Structure 1
Amino acid sequence: MLFRQDILSAQPQRLYRAWMAEFRTPFFRSFLINQPDLVAEVLRSRPDDFPKSARIAEGLRPLLGNSVFLTNGETWKRQRRIIDPAFEGGRLKDTFPAMVAAAEACVARLAAREGQVIEVEEEASHAAADVIFRTLFSIPIEHEIATEVFHEFRAYQRSAPILNIAAFVPLPRWMPRLHRRGTRAAAKRIRGLITRLTAARMRDIRAGSAPDDLATKIMTTQDPVSGDTFDTEEMVDQVAIFFLAGHETSASALGWTLYLLATHPDWQDRVAEEGQQLGTSPTFSDVTRLRFSRDVFREALRLYPPVPMMVRQARCPERFRDRAVPAGSQIVLSPWHQQRHERIWDRPDEFDPGRFATAEGKACMRGAYMPFSSGARVCPGAGFAMVEGPLLLSFILRQFRVSPAGEPPVPVAHLTVRSAEGIRLSLCLRKE
């Protein structure tokens, strides 16, 4: 059985069976919704009636400004029209060599740690940040500014307030609170570093010397409606969320996947064998062959979704399951609960990547699986993540075997679901 501790086990056990639950505080009301058709109504059918909650936006604004993750309405729609083309299938193919380079660099770093106990979340963060910098700005993590951003973000990640939970838990300790001084300072430093990268890229674009990477694509894409492009300040906001979403969430997912494979060596061996078939110079088309790796990664995202809860706000009075939902109520959509729901999933707490090959598993995936959100606001980088994750797994595990070391990790929520004390695994070179 897997752990449901910290904020996640603080919720009543009944929430893993409930279709809907109401929480009241002196200041607002919240409704947790697990029923698949109601989740689909909020996220897919009527997204404009359920915008992002201001409680979440204010908590992350010092770092993310007016990024696409926080905005609503016409501002958000304009931002997505500019951003989405950069993550289409053809562009993913263009970024693949940079992903491979980051995977090779990750394996080289791990080779120096062979035979040791490693803290996997730290290694996963390093690898995910390297992928982002290589694909976004064509620079490796060793670049001076990239290294500074990476270290500053690790400090920010541990000090940022837990706002997803604050949106509905009716206890004072979970309610939104003022930012810690260190959190604001770290956010300011990160944005200053990103501004330097973005301004330099803007100059290269004007000079005609910019590399053809994601940053250049996004900064030169015109809104098909207005013809506008992002200015430097707007681009800083977007780069901040790309780094948060593309680094922080990927690191969380990779860390938990490696832990799950360390505790399930049969699946680990299948992923390693599949990775061996990639050869030394894989191409983008080879990704389709990573079937076991992809299902393993999907299952890890089901059990440990990087963003455990998403919060929307009801614009108008609603009625869900014959219960009045006042205007202004917080609507909590929880991948953590829905993807472990006892009335939806068979053996919801068990690690079983094979479930996605069954008719029941496929049906659950269509109706109750949303690690990247769903509908209009689905993460634009979802396809990117589903290439990056299996690729990194394949490169790591075809060369190394991982096994548990120390106490089992306990999940907690910072900006994403992480382990309270890290994830420690033994790293050994695989025998030929």
Structure 2
Amino acid sequence: MIQPPKPPSRPDRVSLWQYAKLFRADILSAQPARLYRAWMAEFRTPFFRSYLLNQPDLVARVLKERPDDFPKSTRVNEGLRPLLGNSVFVTNGETWKRQRRIIDPAFEGGRLRETFPAMWDAAEACAARLDARVGTQIEVEEETSHAAADVIFRTLFSLPIEHHLARDVFEEFKTYQRSQPILNLAALVPLPRWMPRLFRRDTTRSAARIRALITQLTQDRAEAIHAGSAPDDLATKIMTTVDPQTGETFSTEEMVDQVAIFFLAGHETSASTLAWALYLMALYPEWQDRLAAEAQAMETCDFNVMSKLRLSRDVFRETLRLYPPVPMMVRENTCPQQMRDRTVPKGAQLVVSPWHLHRHNRLWDNPDGFDPTRWATENGKTCQREAFIPFSAGARVCPGAGFAMIEGPLILSRILRDYKVASNAVPVPVAHLTVRSKDGIRLSLTRRER
């Protein structure tokens, strides 16, 4: 049986210096193979202790039951601050709660139906771009990045990716991705707050340019809201939502922070998962044909079509299991905890790894295999409740999770309705901002007989 690729694992014991080098190159291959079986693992450095949690009740304690006792680790997020500022992705406590009170209403269930036409238009535009590539080999991550960015700008600002500001943000973000190291010094060494962070110059310059472009978009929208001419999209909804506890709305700078993370999280994660889904369809042509047959229902722009794309949804969910776009989440322990046979000290880093949890061989049947039918089995249903967290879980679950589960299956089905994909190369997954292929994912594209 063909097995989807995963990265090589390192030996169980390496020096801190070796680990730092491996970690900087790729988080995933820096981890030992035993983590796919361990319920809990401890890592010690001269500066702090880190614990990986795979046991479902421990994961639930951290993410669902007592999230205030396990805030996001500021150490790992340091490298993203030049771009994200104080966005909802990096904040904690009352600041984070206030931000979520303003953001969450924009992503409630009814809004998915309202944003669907914009997603449909982006899917159609993606198919049109691919039509010019029939008979050639494509680098699929470039195509999915383009499509995901188009969805973000159409739903957030009612702008297609061809608009000059949207295009400029997209192009600058590609520059930022190439310059952004996964490991900032502060991730391994607890630097005092007064000490300057050592960011690469090209990273800070690129982040500044992205923020300047987003500021222009935000200011233009604020003027349109004031004039009563703003479209009813996600940006307008968020910028006009009043915090019920404070009576405040986001300032321009706060909105820039949030748009930056919407673009990073909504674009980067969707692009990653969609690229891997297309590769898996090339690897399993029988599933590709089943999705193509199902996609014949996509004839009109109607939100109800999503109820007919059940196989596509299962394939996309299985892709999220095998290739979760955010492979690890780090929380900080605020008071001593007893976890299994260990006392976890205050200040320890708690790592919840969807990458390892989703492939854990003591939880899942056939953990490394591609099987979209697993979600209908008892094991699959249990694991979906207890060990499937591609969008995190609990209070800090991604507000765009429902959004992603419409966008991904929709674009996947729209592509496979008209085109076949095939692959002659095996991509190696690595993790930087998200889980991507080390050397890209190259697929050949042919037109499908309908």
**TM tier, smaller:** over 0.9
Match of 1:121, SS state, is helix
Q: Which residue is 1:229 aligned to?
A: 249
Q: Which residue is 1:69 aligned to?
A: 89
Map 1:375-390 → 2, pairs under 5 A: 375-390=394-409
Q: Which residue is 2:33 aligned to?
A: 13
Note closer, same or farther for the CA distance 1:11–1:166 as it changes in structure 2 (3 Å cut): farther
Letter in 1 for 2:265: A
Match of 2:7 among 4, 7, 20: 4
Q: 1:159 deviation in Å?
A: 2.1
Q: Which residue is 2:416 aligned to?
A: 397
Normalised by the size of structure 2, how large is the TM-score? Answer: 0.92
Map 1:336-375 → 2, pairs under 5 A: 336-375=355-394
Deviation digits for residues 164-197 of structure 1 (CA, Å, limit 9, x no counterpart): 999589xxxxxxx832211111101100000000
Letter in 2 for 1:46: R
Match of 2:215, SS state, is helix
Instruction: Measure the CA separation in 2 of the matches of 1:360 and 1:67.
Output: 37
Q: Which residue is 2:439 aligned to?
A: 421
Match of 1:329 among 326, 343, 348: 348
Match of 1:48, SS state, is helix
Letter in 2 for 1:105: A
Letter in 1 for 2:288: Q
Q: Which residue is 1:94 aligned to?
A: 114
Q: Is residue 2:74 matched to residue 1:54? A: yes
Match of 1:195 among 209, 215, 223: 215
Q: Is residue 2:244 matched to residue 1:241? A: no
Instruction: Measure the CA separation in 1 of the matches of 2:149 and 2:185.
Output: 26
Deviation digits for residues 351-376 of structure 1 (CA, Å, limit 9, x no counterpart): 11110011111111110000000000
Give the conservation status (yes or no) of the 8 Å contact 1:62–1:188.
Answer: yes
Letter in 2 for 1:423: I
Match of 1:195, SS state, is helix
Instruction: Measure the CA separation in 1 of the matches of 2:372 and 2:183.
Output: 31
Note closer, same or farther for the CA distance 1:273–1:165 as it changes in structure 2 (3 Å cut): farther
Match of 1:8, SS state, is coil
Give the conservation status (yes or no) of the 8 Å contact 2:336–2:346.
Answer: yes
Note closer, same or farther for the CA distance 1:391–1:165 as it changes in structure 2 (3 Å cut): farther
Q: Which residue is 1:172 aligned to?
A: none
Deviation digits for residues 285-329 of structure 1 (CA, Å, limit 9, x no counterpart): 221111000000000000000000000000111110020111000
Letter in 1 for 2:363: I
Q: Is residue 2:178 matched to residue 1:178? A: no
Instruction: Measure the CA separation in 2 of the matches of 1:42 and 1:242.
Output: 24
Match of 1:398, SS state, is helix
Letter in 2 for 1:210: A
Aligned pairs, how many?
423
Deviation digits for residues 244-294 of structure 1 (CA, Å, limit 9, x no counterpart): 011000000000000011100011111111111121x13112211110000
Map 1:98-117 → 2, pairs under 5 A: 98-117=118-137
Deviation digits for residues 317-343 of structure 1 (CA, Å, limit 9, x no counterpart): 111002011100000000000000000
Instruction: Measure the CA separation in 1 of the matches of 2:29 and 2:91.
Output: 31
Instruction: Measure the CA separation in 2 of the matches of 1:17 and 1:39.
Output: 15
Q: 1:3 deviation in Å?
A: 2.0
Q: Percent identity at matched positions?
A: 71
Letter in 2 for 1:115: G
Match of 1:291 among 297, 300, 310: 310
Q: Which residue is 2:270 aligned to?
A: 250
Instruction: Measure the CA separation in 1 of the matches of 2:385 and 2:301.
Output: 30
Letter in 2 for 1:35: Q
Instruction: Measure the CA separation in 2 of the matches of 1:203 and 1:429.
Output: 45
Map 1:209-224 → 2, pairs under 5 A: 209-224=229-244
Q: Which residue is 1:275 aligned to?
A: 295
Match of 2:420, SS state, is strand
Q: Is residue 2:277 matched to residue 1:260? A: no
Note closer, same or farther for the CA distance 1:256–1:399 as it changes in structure 2 (3 Å cut): same
Give the conservation status (yes or no) of the 8 Å contact 1:201–1:210.
Answer: yes
Instruction: Measure the CA separation in 2 of the matches of 1:107 and 1:66.
Output: 36
Structure 1: runs of 5+ lacking an equivalent:
170-176
Note closer, same or farther for the CA distance 1:235–1:222 as it changes in structure 2 (3 Å cut): same
Match of 2:326, SS state, is coil
Letter in 2 for 1:414: H
Letter in 1 for 2:217: L
Q: 1:163 deviation in Å?
A: 4.1
Match of 1:98, SS state, is helix
Instruction: Measure the CA separation in 1 of the matches of 2:259 and 2:446.
Output: 36
Give the conservation status (yes or no) of the 8 Å contact 2:27–2:432.
Answer: no
Normalised by the size of structure 1, how large is the TM-score? Answer: 0.96
Q: 1:233 deviation in Å?
A: 0.6
